[in-house]
Amino acid sequence: MTDGPLIVQSDKTVLLEVDHERAEDARIAIAPFAELERAPEHVHTYRVTPLALWNARAAGHDAEQVVDALTTYSRFPVPQPLLIDIVDTMGRFGRLQLQNDPAHGIVMVATDRAVLEEVLRNKKISPMLGARIDPDTVVVHPSERGRLKQALVKVGWPAEDLAGYVDGESHPMSLAEDGWALREYQRQAADAFRAGGSGVVVLPCGAGKTLVGAAAMARAEATTLILVTNTVAARQWKRELVNRTSLTESEIGEYSGEKKEIRPVTIATYQVITRKSKGEYKHLELFDSRDWGLVIYDEVHLLPAPVFRMTADLQSRRRLGLTATLVREDGREGDVFSLIGPKRYDVPWRDIEAQGWIAPAECIEVRVTLTDNERIGYATAESEERYRLASTAHTKLGVIRSIVDTHAGEPTLVIGAYLDQLEELGAALDAPVIQGSTTNKEREALFERFRQGELDTLVVSKVANFSIDLPEATVAIQVSGTFGSRQEEAQRLGRLLRPKEDGRQAHFYSVVARDTVDTDYAAHRQRFLAEQGYAYRIVDADDLLRPL
């Protein structure tokens, strides 16, 4: 037994004692192969999963390094079955390899013939394969490169893709050097991506993922297709690229519901890409419209299923996914791994906060007691109606107004999911409402007034969850959400994490109805923040309503 900071358990969880003098060294050692699950005050919990181990193998780490990291820093002997399982699991990666063959194009080569025989007999995999060249090699239909990798992950034999990339059409560009420089972690993230050729960079909201994308573009110097969540995000990307790189406005096209510009750098929205007409995706030609050298997926954890299917056809292109969390509510993390690429870089939220690059945040859950009438209405409602009734309870209104008054003069976002409730809040707070039907021109005008300090308060629907750059916001009040979505919680907190010029702390409130499913869903959403080290403080609404 040694005095190490880790406790490695047979259920594949790894506990890290944060205050231990060797904790930072241990965290760095296990980060490549263990996923952080929870990061409260004193003990952080990691989990070793097959996907995490395959991510590590794809990034160049071997089983010996993983075993060495665990045994070096563990306080107690590491369970022997766990070590054997790690070696066996990592050994599954790369027994099948995708390679380029001069005579046959893409082929799958096996270093273990029995594995090849097994997958050849899989009814979902065999149609993706062509002729068998020799006992260890089989032709892969070029169009099936991505789908084959997806299928192989699902059967537990992830392929190592060594078939390489096309450079695409070149387009010179560089990072501007006037008045700014990449932060060290941004540079490391861009370097890690370039070394791997494709994959995902995980950074907190507010940590400058757009600049990592710009750095990747500058290294590639190739035509680039950037996919984003909405038109407002597309225009923010364009502004950042014009300000931070040598690109001019004329070199950057917007491909959205409003414009259809295809230029050397084209920024397209997921909505327009996935729009169907007569049962077909009419904008698929965008992917073939130029010889793209790089494809960037912003908010990759939100990638719609149709874009996964389209991405399966882009395996010869370099692909960069950007996200604050690899958590997907649909459980398709394996598809991100197989189609976009492995995780190339990540850094914990609290580390970035400690360096001063994102603002410290206080998270507060405010519990509201419903009136007797509201409780009876909730109790007698159909189960599918109960969350809406609890979320939109009129009793929340006074509490929300009290919180806004407490932070009078501070830039405040009131965030909800139900339009009737948002309209009621807008009227009560005398604040503009931004929702799905608000035109992009109106949205941008209101966001700009908010940035300039002309508006203190905005009431926003889920359209503001993603990729909206509002660095001035210091208060967010969440009144209703998408049931128990952890990714939504992360994005909403992310609206506040841009560092403040005066160093002010951010305040993130969740107003929930006591004794209802609203409280249950709030607890689920908060899991993500607890995992990142943001502890919630729970207060009673009555305490906020009393005169200060």
Q: What is the pLDDT of residues 44-95, one digit of tens each?
A: 889 999 999 998 999 889 999 999 999 999 999 999 999 999 999 999 999 9
Single out the residue of 454, 405, 461, 395 nearest to residue 429, CA to CA.
Answer: 405
190-204, 265-279, 502-516 — most confident range: 190-204
At residue 22 the predicted structure's pLDDT band, cuts being 50, 70 and 90, is very high
184-353 shares its CATH topology with 359-545:
yes
Tokens at 29, concatenated: 């050692």
Q: How many residues does the chain have?
A: 548
Residues 116-153 have pLDDT tens digits of 999 999 999 999 999 999 999 999 998 899 999 999 99
**Predicted local confidence at residue 102, as pLDDT:** 92
Single out the residue of 208, 227, 190, 230 nearest to residue 465, CA to CA.
Answer: 230
Give me the residue spans of the domains in the chain. 6-92, 96-161, 184-353, 359-545
Q: Does domain 184-353 sit in CATH 3.40.50.300?
A: yes
Single out the residue of 398, 403, 430, 397 nearest to residue 416, CA to CA.
Answer: 397
Whole-structure pTM value: 0.75
Cβ-based neighbours of 313, under 8 Å, separated by 6 or more: 143, 146, 287
**Predicted local confidence at residue 324, as pLDDT:** 79
At residue 6 the predicted structure's pLDDT band, cuts being 50, 70 and 90, is very high
**Predicted local confidence at residue 484, as pLDDT:** 42
Bridging pattern class, strands 43-47 and 13-17: antiparallel
Give the span between the Cα atoms of 269 and 287, in whole angstroms: 13
Place of tokens 């009438």: 373
Dihedral class, residue 37 (left if φ above 0, else alpha if ψ from -120 to 50, else beta): alpha
Provide mean pLDDT across the span 179-186: 88
Cα Rg, the chain, nearest whole Å = 25
**Predicted local confidence at residue 548, as pLDDT:** 37
Provide mean pLDDT across the span 14-25: 93
CATH of domain 359-545: 3.40.50.300
Q: Nearest 5°: phi and psi at 317?
A: -100, 145
